[in-house]
Amino acid sequence: MAFPVLAAFGAAAAVAVYTYVSGLRTNIAKARKTGLVYIVMPVSPFNLLWQLTFWIWVPIIKLLLPKSLWENRLFVMMPEWGYATGQEYFDRLGTETLLVVSPGRIILYSQSAEVIHTMTQRREAFPKDISLYGILSMFGQNVLTTEGAVWRMHRKVTSASFNEPNAAHTFAEAITQTQGMLNMWFGPEGSRTGTTKTISTLEHDTMTWALNVIGYVGFGLRLLWPGESLPKDIDPKLAKYGSLKPPPGHTLSFSDSVAHTLERIVSILLFPDTLLRFLPFKFAREAYKAKTNYLQYMEEFLQDKKEDTLRGAARKEGMDIMGQLVQSSYGQNKSGNAPKLGDSEIIGNAFIMTVAGHETTANTLHFALLELANNPATQRRLQHDIDGLLGPASDPATWDYDRNVNAMLASHIGACVNETLRMVPPVTGIPKVVSHDADQAITIGGKTHVLPRGMTCSLLTVCVHRNPRWWPTRPSGRTGAAADLDDFLPERWYRTTDDSSRCDGDGDGDGDGAAEEDEDGGDYGGFQGSDTSASLYRPVRGSYLPFSDGPRSCLGRRIAMVEMNAVLAVIFQRYSIELAVDEWAGDAEVEGMGPAERREVYARAQKKSREIISQADSVLTLKLHGGRYVPVRLVKRGTDGLRKSDLELVIDDYLLEHGEQFQSHPKLHDYFKSRARAGGSPIKKEPIPAPDLKVSRRRAAKVVDEMVAPDPDHPLRCRPAEEEEEEDEEEESSPDPSPLAAASTALAETPGRALSLASRIQLPASPADVALAVDRSTVAMRATVRHYYRSSNITEATQTTRAWLSTVHSVVSAIALFELYRLRQEILPDRYAFTVPAIRLLGTRDWPVQLPDMFALLTAAFWVPALTWALTSLVLPAVAGYFFNLAAAHRQQPAAAGRARARGAPAAGPGARDEYAVDPLMFSVVKAVVTYVVYAQGATFGGLIQKTAVSRINSALYSGWRGVLVGTAVSGLTAVYDAVLRK
């Protein structure tokens, strides 16, 4: 009975192995024909089981396999590897486009603007891989999850709401919601002190801001901030959606239902509603409650819109996305041939518009604020442009869309948004697939490559955004790298390039990236212009696509850009943002610090902030997950919130700059008289070096990533030293130098003041100071090493492994596995499978790969010796060890137990080991006897054992049957030793 079952199992395994191997060989042949660089992997990076368990296997692979086998290939198996590694592996492999070959599929990854432009424009040849978007069709098919004629219908219906009047409406609402967010952050106390408390909910708050904007502009729903109340004249039908408390019939407010649905989107996708409802886990309860409430809200909203449409109610102000979708299907003026959406498709499109207009915009704002907090010099330039365009004291409510928005998009405001989208695009890869109808050809560098039908393609936006081939670059001032594309530098959008040979993708070489029609000549609505202002740098077509490109580009990209420019303008018109340093020092400690200490603590905050940003990954969009956040604070611009001593310094510098104007003022006579006597300022100042004093253009060597200079706008605040250098260079050509910059020049030109400053310059560190600094660094390094060693759980893993291996059964199993390893080479020999071609860049040779000949599983030549060995070395000894178990029998004798208690022997405590179910000593004895009888004496037990199988086993094992006896002797002695230790 056992043999047929094993045979069936073996046959199934053989078929699976054959399918696996043949699929791999076929795909390797296809990849080789393309002429592109390819990497062979045993499993696809898109395999769901791998994606759920990769964090288990990657450390094991790195531990067990030689580095040469995984160093330049394992990276493709990591989620978001493009964002995490950037240009590293493309540079190593010497290509911009590579293939990953596995038995199930071939995947093309590209950071080539040529390839990306080709695939985004040829929609029919390279349609969207909608199989990857099933998660977004749970509420109904929509414009994002469809292709072909169905997509065209969805696109035409949904594009009607995306126009300039609605962009203006979004501009005004973004201003209103930003003011509400600022009021929440500051509160009454912050309005008085000029600074907020530490904000640890920045991501959540930007999500709320974006939801409030799209809720009102897109659906007419007035959503509230804490402390706000609904207008008295609001439509009663809409009041329930804006309430902060759940209305009757709901257990969540509308905003909470949307937020929680997006947070638990993976659980909602993986588990059916019935299972979510009854699973005894918090995540399941939250997912079920969020989905149920959201669907209920959407169905109620749909019914309200149907009623309004059927009775001919007037269109609502704004985009009115749901009303537009309902009008297309239920409107009185609808023609019979016009596209019509079902109710589920209306809800599905409403959901996708909420996601697209909510999460993507919120994440961009979140990362923009963090990058500006990391780069104070950029923040000051942003504020300078805002002051020039909109005025430092103007009321944002009076800003006019038609008059201001284009100037904002062309200023440093637009450059900051563009740079954030370049560094942290909402989607790191655009999924495409080669048409299943036919192979498709693409041209790379003048060479044609034919891609097989059905190939999966991933256009790596996050990599092409940092590809130095497609962007003008300079050496990095922060890291020292050859290219500065990993740095947040909005000023790059004012750069130009002299490389006229670069192709811009649209064939005219002008780099304008002008919009192109679909290959079938269709126009499906939406904004048709460039993603960047004409006054800023225009990237090569295909090298910058935060909103995708071609016919399937984002419908709301114009509205998103307007929205993000508005929020940055409102925030930085009157406020600045800085990283909170609570982790290293409290407010009182910061107040007592000198400039050098403040530079050090702010450098720590910058370093940690950048590390956290680099850990972003994607579920729907690229964002911070797992509770990661960067704490920040907002402060009023100017001198608000400064200490008295800091105000004295600012006033002193200002009076110095405007000395000719104020020397004749009677109230300041004594001030200038005391200055003349002292040869400097009468204000008592700390003996700190003056960074603005330029006695030489050569600067001392320093680690720019950890040096921070005082911020002239905020003497208590800091800015990176490399940004100080950039501003030094800009001061010479600046048409509107700041008062403090002019003061710096005045200081250098006034002998008395210069001598006063020179007396305060710190002397070089003494040898004792150097030794103390080295000692502190050593202690800190030891503490860091200890921390990482403990957090790595190496000790616990070692102890667990040791405990697992410190048993007799582990020894017996190791001996059996060694025998099986030798036997496998005899009964399942290796055969040549394929050759991994040489990689010239790495200097490797052709590597022939041999795999076990799985066809042998279908033959008796495998199964007869395999079953013979299993019977003699495992089955019979295990059965004997189970029934002839002397230790277990001894424990079960009550008389023996009673005598032990009479002698005062201690009872087995909770920590005592359980007896083995299979006696290891008896297992070894029986295995030795059976091995000697069968393999040495040739017993066949009436023909049950075949002599040819015995001969093959003897030839495969080390020393034949004698080697097996040695193994049984070792395991037997180990069992005796273990028994002695037990007693």
Binding-site residues, please?
A: 554
**Contact call for residues 562 and 167 (beta carbons, < 8 A):** yes
Look at the block and give the residue holding tokens 């403990």.
790
Q: What is the DSSP letter of 715?
A: E
Task: Please give the structure tokens belonging to residue 402.
Answer: 């038609």
Phi, psi of 179 (to 5 degrees): -65, -35
Identity of the amino acid at 364: T
**Contact call for residues 107 and 47 (beta carbons, < 8 A):** no
Task: Please give the structure tokens belonging to residue 918.
Answer: 């299979």
| DSSP secondary structure, 576-634, as one string | EEEE--TTT--HHHHHT--HHHHHHHHHHHHHHHHHHHTT-EESSSEE--TT----EEE
Identity of the amino acid at 982: R
CB atoms within 10 A of CB 489: 23
3-state SS, residue 201: coil
**Separation CA 667–CA 671 (nearest Å):** 8
- Selection from 234, 206, 216, 230 nearest residue 172 by Cα: 216
| DSSP secondary structure, 922-976, as one string | HHHHHHHHHHIIIIIT---TTTTS-HHHHHHHHHHSTTHHHHHHHHHHHHHHHHH
Q: Which residues pair with 44 in a beta bridge?
A: none
**Contact call for residues 137 and 346 (beta carbons, < 8 A):** no
Exposed / middle / buried, residue 354 (Cβ in 10 Å: 0-12, 13-18, 19+): buried
CB atoms within 10 A of CB 491: 16
- Selection from 240, 267, 234 nearest residue 254 by Cα: 240
Q: Mark out the alpha helices in 86-235 (DSSP H runs).
A: 88-93, 113-121, 148-158, 164-193, 202-219
Work out the angle at residue 295's Cα, subtended by the Cα atoms of residues 290 and 299, and round it to the nearest 5 degrees: 150
**Separation CA 873–CA 595 (nearest Å):** 76
Q: What is the DSSP letter of 128?
A: B
**Separation CA 582–CA 593 (nearest Å):** 14
Binding-site residue set for heme = 554
Residue 647 CA: distances (Å) to CA of 638, 653, 708 = 11, 10, 21
